[in-house]
Structure 1
């Protein structure tokens, strides 16, 4: 990766980190105000958090934090998969309950993130 591309990748990662932190802060405020967090907001946070960890993994490998990045990305993807299995909230073409995702939670994350990106591109509410 060139120095400029590397710098751009880190900048984009920091931008997304900020966005995910804001979602987490919003969830905390909602929980304090209402005593609970609504499911769609919780799922959106889990999805964006897992996508962030997945995206950070290759960059962390370049800096010597490979094990930490991989574990974080795998656990975050598994958390999203388990949430969707428990709540029936997946939106992609292959359901969370499908056994193929047992061995590939990040594949499930990629499917679900692609749906989120399409929704955001189309200006879907709640995307």
Structure 2
């Protein structure tokens, strides 16, 4: 069993990693003038998964509503991007209407695909 401080430390490390990925997306777009669709998808998946994981920890400290809103918005951002660019990697396409009712399930699918592809370690 991990201590709460270990959970926060892991969350902060993931936030740092996601921020570095954001910097790389921006750097590449500035260099080439084009957003790399797969790199943007990778960033959006990790950003949405981070927000989803943060919600549980935030609920323990009284900030659950803010975390849920952030996770929901991040999930919608990923879903919209993948629908527009066809960059989803999971078994069920982003265009599938089932994701309209629960975009966080789409995040879970896409995050699982990243882990299985070896592009990220499983959470904690």
TM-score above 0.5, yes or no: yes
Q: Which residue pairs with 1:85 in the alignment?
A: 83
Cα root mean square deviation, aligned: 1.7
The CA deviation at 1:91 is 1.4
Instruction: Classify the secondary structure of the residue corresponding to 1:120.
Output: coil
Map of 1:103-118 to 2, 5 A cutoff?
103-118=101-116
For residues 59 and 107 of structure 1, the distance between their equivalents in structure 2, rounded to whole angstroms, comes to: 19
The CA deviation at 1:121 is 6.7
Q: Which residue pairs with 2:56 in the alignment?
A: 58
For residues 43 and 119 of structure 2, the distance between their equivalents in structure 1, rounded to whole angstroms, comes to: 18
Q: Which residue pairs with 1:125 in the alignment?
A: none
Bigger CA radius of gyration: 1
Instruction: Classify the secondary structure of the residue corresponding to 2:117.
Output: helix
Q: 1:46-100 CA deviation, whole Å, 9 max, x = no partner?
A: 1110010001011111111111100000010111111111112211111111111
Q: Which moved more, 1:99-108 or 1:28-37?
A: 28-37
Structure 2 unaligned spans of 5+ = none
The CA deviation at 1:32 is 2.2
The CA deviation at 1:39 is 0.8
Map of 1:2-41 to 2, 5 A cutoff?
4-41=2-39
Moved over 6 A (4+): none
Across the two proteins, how many residue pairs are aligned to each other? 120
- Mark the CA change 1:76 to 1:66 in structure 2 (over 3 Å): closer, same or farther: same
Structure 1 unaligned spans of 5+ = 123-127
Q: 1:1-22 CA deviation, whole Å, 9 max, x = no partner?
A: x7x5211111110110010010
